[in-house]
């Protein structure tokens, strides 16, 4: 969900922007700031030689990020960060709507 949400947010922007993308996912932040260059260099294999999990979503996110200047800011989840708490409530409500 975190990968899809970040990609959709960047794709929704109508023109190139400077973006500070807050995420409570170290997986997303590290993937975008540290790991993806190695994955690409190793033909989408991780350091163990296995295929990168969620490769299609990572590729979508890399394409979405390309036209923007993005700062990836990690925030601790469920720690009182107002925006993170708001997004968590929105995601929970959307999931409940889908599940009925």
The string of pLDDT tens digits covering residues 63-78 is 999 999 999 999 987 7
Task: State pTM to two decimals.
Answer: 0.85
Question: In the structure encoding, which two tokens stand for residue 86, read together?
Answer: 């708001």
What whole-number distance in Å separates Cα of residue 88 and Cα of residue 77? 9
The domain ranges of the chain are 2-99
Q: What would the CATH number be for the domain defined by 2-99?
A: 3.30.420.10
The string of pLDDT tens digits covering residues 20-49 is 999 999 999 999 999 999 999 999 999 999
Strand partners, 20: 71
- Cα diameter, the chain: 43
Summarize the confidence of residues 55-69 as an average pLDDT.
97
What whole-number distance in Å separates Cα of residue 56 and Cα of residue 62? 10
Secondary structure percentages of the chain, helix, strand, coil, to 5? 55, 15, 30
CB–CB of 28/2 below 8 Å? yes
């Amino acid at each position: 969900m975190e990968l899809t949400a970040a990609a959709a947010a960047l794709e929704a922007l109508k023109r190139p922007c400077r973006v500070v993308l807050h995420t409570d996912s170290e997986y997303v932040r590290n993937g975008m700031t540290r790991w993806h260059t190695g994955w690409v260099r190793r033909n989408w294999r991780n350091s163990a030689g296995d295929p990168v999990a969620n490769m299609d979503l990572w590729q979508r996110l890399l394409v979405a990020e390309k036209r923007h200047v993005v700062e990836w800011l990690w925030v601790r989840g469920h720690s009182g960060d107002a925006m993170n708490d708001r997004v968590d409530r929105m995601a929970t409500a959307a999931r409940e709507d889908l599940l009925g």
